[in-house]
Amino acid sequence: MEKQVIKISVRNLVEFILRSGDIDNRIASQDKDAMQLGAKIHRKIQRQMGASYQAEVTLRRVVEFDKLCIQVEGRADGIIAEDTVYVDEIKGVFTDLERLREPIPVHLAQAKCYACIYAMQQELTVIGVQMTYCNMETEEIKRFRQEYKAEELEAWFQELVLQYEKWGRFQIEWREIRNHSVKQVEFPYAYREGQKNLVTSVYRTILRKKKLFIQAPTGVGKTIATIFPAVKAVGEGLGERIFYLTAKTITRTAASQAFELLKEQDLRYKVITLTAKEKICFCEKADCNPEYCPYAKGHFDRVNDAVYELITSRDDMSRAVLEEQAKKWQVCPFELGLDVSTWMDAIICDYNYVFDPSVHLKRFFGEGIKGENLFLIDEAHNLVERGREMYSASLYKEDVLKIKRQVKLLDVRLARRLEECNKQLLELKRECDGVTVLNSAAHIYLKLLTVMAELERFLEEHKENAVREEVLEFYFEVRTFISVYEKLDENYMIYAELTEDGRFQVRLFCVNPAVNLKEYMEKGNSTIFFSATLLPIHYYKELLSTEKDDYAVYAETAFSEEQRILLQAVDVSTRYTLRGETMYQRYAEYLYRMAKVKKGNYMAFFPSYKFLEQVYDAFSEKIKEEDELRCLVQAPYMSEEAREIFLEGFEESQRGSLMGFCVMGGIFSEGIDLANERLIGAAVVGTGLPQVCRERELLRSYFDGRGLNGFDYAYVYPGMNKVQQSAGRVIRTEKDRGVILLLDERFSEQRYRNTFPREWKGIRLCRIHTVEEQLQEFWDESSSK
């Protein structure tokens, strides 16, 4: 029988097997090679090397073992054909090259792997390694050369690959167990209306290596309807692993429960849910260095053994399991989780672990890595704004000045560079009248390269200084700005702004994140976007994908029209010109009448905290003692405990009615599941339009300039998404009955109606003097069924 082949890149092999020592966040330079800047430096050096230099040489070596073959592959930066052949490995760094006395061991190990592979292919007895370090600010170059006997390199390389053999063997043995178990698994329920079509669409999309957008109304069971076909696809070799991505903790829980449900059919599937560093850290604060944290000290000496023991003994990688293993082996629980994820069949995590250039999982999404991942993106409507934020960057003049003042007595060179940068920003500030769109920020970018080099030197020389933490934070801000600048294209706007709090910023604003998202989606086979509010679909296709042939499915709702009444008020408005005490009183009256017709739990969603407070005050005045009507009010910046207390108020069995006052787009307007009698009505106050601000107006002008309706893209579509999310809190199961009030006359306008989901086709109009009768009629009919 033909042996299975496990592939691993040269870089991943050496970084995995040869890592040792401490986690130390005080070493600012440890990840600089991941920056985009390096690629330009590589190309420039390669062009200067002459005719004897062959650039970007793909190398591959298969090492055979009893039960498998391991294929080690990668691209050498250059092969130099001299009397002795040299393999060149180029690294772009910010470090002062005078301080670099010898090659960094992990870099040298990469070059030695390439040298060994090339020597064997060309039957050389001796081969040289050249380490080329280039300072990315000054472009100064420092080279280290060393010759090796091919037989010495071969023995070293064989030992390196041998250490990886048990990991490769685990992959093959586990894959057989997993794939055999997948064959037995069936969909765990009787299919609901439209659900089988949804499952088929997901599988077909994965089979064809495409993208699919799913508008999946509440009740469709979108979580299990996407996970089940993806699991089947992995079992049939159509993907390597599943990434289930979401923006909310509660949806991560639903995904985890779906996998557990399939495991009841004896599915063997290794699943991990990644927890944020701040939540899983054992220390009071996540300060990752060996002097503060005992788990950081010697972490890399022990972590591989901790990982191997865990993945070979358990399938369940819950937070509790990871914490227990981390304590046993004295390693960081967060980093342990990231390492364990490498060997998982499914990873449930936040969007940023895949798409955010600053924090993504580099083992899966680093430069040059291509995997066969399947991306299931839940609540995909959130990815537009999250994407914009991930790929944008700001530099504040005040931050530059603050760091300059803090270091001026400690480091004259750094202070001088910061002053030069400050002068550039001051010049822009003088020319800025509120907000100024800039054609370029090249001069700031070039200056920041020099600042970056000095910041690195400062951080290396001042590991214990009191200002170090703030300098390190500023360093990451600068690094992000430089990295984002490298991505600038027609999907960006650059602007300078005097903010409302008096600060001055230069912002690289990613208007359309689709191109940047594509870079990471291409590291997978297929992507499924799904949400209960993915309308209008063309808006999300435009901003989340660059392809024109993506599939789209509108899943049929499992609920009947009789389960709810949808009313739109035509005699109230949230327009700024109509706001006032009379209007607040009328809104309060609507809420009061809704709660009086039938006792139960209700939520009202408002466009802002200010509007909420005005209506709440008016509502409170209407309540009489005999009404048995209580209120709960969402506060800004609620802690997790405060949120839980708020939701605990929505219990099924309680006297009288409860009215929850919430903000649209906030923590209670999506991702919460109050089924049965826990919520029987929702009032949505206003069209949810974002407040007019400079960035929204820039969005508007950007899309207008591309022949699209800028107002819809900047305001209407994001606003109506919040409206649909808020309304979706009602009717969560086939037994639920409930009321949805859309309280704004603007909902009658065609531009808003065009965004309504199909399920809203039975909408009826109401006024303050008719609403009570219409609601009473609905509840009477419901009770008779």
**Torsion angle, alpha carbons of 167, 169, 173, 179, to 10:** 70
Band (pLDDT 50/70/90 cuts) for residue 46 is: confident
pTM of the prediction? Answer: 0.91
Give the model's pLDDT for residue 100: 86
Number of other residues whose CB lies within 10 A of the CB of residue 647:
17
Amino acid 34: pLDDT? 38
Phi, psi values for residue 703, rounded to 5°: -75, -35
CB 671, CB 638: distance < 8 Å: no
Indicate the pairing of strand 373-377 with strand 346-350.
unpaired
Mean pLDDT of 289-316: 94
Give the Cα separation of 336 and 329 in Å (integer): 10
pLDDT of residue 24: 84
| pLDDT for the residue 28 | 52
CA distances in angstroms from 749 to 110, 536, 690, 756, listed in the order given: 63, 16, 18, 11
Q: How far apart, in whole angstroms, are the C-alpha atoms of residue 341 and residue 347? A: 7
CA 461 – CA 401 distance, rounded (Å): 21
Extract the tokens encoding 42.
């590589």
User: Would you call 507 exposed, middle or buried from its count of C-beta atoms within 10 A (0-12, 13-18, 19+)?
Assistant: buried
How much is the average pLDDT of 226-243?
Answer: 97
CA gap 38, 58 in Å, rounded: 19
Q: Which helix (H) or strand (E) holds 311?
A: helix 299-311
pLDDT score at 264: 96
- Tell me phi and psi for residue 157, to 5 degrees: -65, -45
Alpha-carbon gap, residue 259 to 30, rounded angstroms:
37
* Cis preceding linkage at 536, omega within 30: yes
Find out whether 110 and 59 touch, Cβ atoms under 8 Å: no
Say which residue, 500 or 244, is predicted with more confidence.
244
Q: When comparing pLDDT for 652 and 583, which is higher?
A: 583
Mean pLDDT of 589-616: 96
Query: Mean pLDDT across the chain, nearest whole number?
Result: 92
Lowest-confidence pick of 26-35, 222-231, 566-575, 633-642: 26-35
Question: What is residue 32's predicted lDDT score, i.e. its pLDDT?
Answer: 42
pLDDT of res. 733:
84
* Confidence check: pLDDT of 447 > 60: yes
The helix (H) or strand (E) run that includes residue 420 is helix 412-431
DSSP string of 434-450, one letter each residue: SEEEES--HHHHHHHHH
Own/partner contacts of 71-75, CB < 8 Å, gap of 24 or more, are 71/5, 71/6, 71/7, 71/8, 72/8, 72/9, 72/10, 72/13, 72/113, 72/117, 72/161, 73/7, 73/8, 73/9, 73/10, 74/9, 74/10, 74/11, 74/110, 74/113, 74/114, 74/368, 75/368
Distance of alpha carbon 119 from alpha carbon 152, whole angstroms: 11
Q: pLDDT band at residue 515, thresholds of 50, 70 and 90?
A: very high
d(CA 57, CA 87): 10
655: burial class by Cβ within 10 Å (0-12, 13-18, 19+)?
exposed
User: What average pLDDT does this structure show over 303-319?
Assistant: 95
The per-residue pLDDT for range 588-600, each reduced to its tens digit, is 999 999 999 999 9
Contacts for 232 with CB less than 8 Å, ≥ 6 apart: 182, 185, 203
Number of Cβ within 10 Å of residue 752's Cβ equals 21
> pLDDT (tens digit, 9 = 90+) per residue, 244-297?
999 877 788 899 999 999 999 999 999 999 999 999 999 988 888 898 899 999
Tokens of 168: 């490769």
Give the count of beta carbons closer than 10 Å to the beta carbon of residue 758.
Answer: 11
| Model pLDDT, residue 35 | 45
| Nearest residue to 561 (alpha-carbon basis) of 318, 352, 391, 762 | 762
Q: Hey, how many other C-beta atoms are within 10 angstroms of the C-beta on 746?
A: 18
CA 172-174-178 angle, to 5 degrees, is 120
pLDDT for the residue 1 = 65
Residue linked to tokens 């691209």: 75
Q: What is the pLDDT of residue 368?
A: 65
Find, among 99, 76, 71, 75, the residue nearest to 86 by Cα. Answer: 76
Asked if 146 contacts 180 with a C-beta cutoff of 8 angstroms, the reply is no
**With 90 as the cut, is the pLDDT of residue 423 above it?**
yes
What was the pLDDT predicted at 37? 52
In single-letter form, the type of residue at position 491 comes to N
Residue closest to 605 by CA, chosen among 725, 697, 690: 725
As a whole number of angstroms, the distance between CA 444 and CA 727 comes to: 46
- Rounded to an integer, the average pLDDT of 353-380 is 87
In this structure, what token pair is assigned to residue 386?
Answer: 């999250």
Residue identified by tokens 């995909």 is: 380
